[in-house]
Copies of this chain bind each other. A is one copy, B any other.
Amino acid sequence: MFKKILMPHDGSKGADAALEKAIELSKLTGAELIVLTVYRHHSILEASLSMVRGKGEEPGNLDDAMKAAAREVGEYAKHRARDLGLEKVQAFIKGGPSARTIIAFSKEKDCDLIVIGSRGLGASEGYMLGSVSHKVTSTASMPVMVV
């Protein structure tokens, strides 16, 4: 019933729980699992902080560090999926605002389900549903499972 499942993973525990469900569903339906980790571009923000920036802390370096961290999350998710017997899994990283980047990527990859954690790293404690999960659920054109 699903062919391509998108699982946005931000490295949070909530995302880990969603990853487990996404792996199970992928195995059950024979779907391909696509893990996406979105990172924020820090170049522009950092450019305005040039006065306080030390040696080796160039904007480009910070972006590289964000990308490397995002890649690590994706690698972890791929290993977890393969450990659980799922072969058809790919991981991607993308820079940009979380919800919009997830939605755009889900369309680009023609996914038919998004499995997302109810609260991620960006969620404040006061809210039961994280703002990214809420935005994705509100604007996705395909079913969204909130775990």
Contacts and interface: CB of A to CB of B under 8 A. Distances in A.
B29 A143 contact: no
Instruction: Please indicate which of the listed interface residues A24, A25, A146, A147 has the most CB atoms of chain B within 10 Å of its own CB.
Output: A146
Given A129-B138, A137-B129, A1 B29 contact: no
Contact of A128 (B24, B138, B145): B138
Contact of A28 (B29, B118, B143, B146): B29
Interface residues of A, number: 20
Contacts of A28: 1, 28-29
Contacts of A143: 21, 145-147
27 contacts: A1-B21, A1-B24, A1-B25, A1-B28, A21-B143, A28-B28, A28-B29, A118-B137, A127-B138, A128-B138, A128-B139, A129-B134, A129-B137, A129-B138, A133-B137, A134-B134, A134-B137, A134-B138, A137-B137, A137-B146, A143-B145, A143-B146, A143-B147, A144-B146, A145-B145, A145-B146, A146-B146
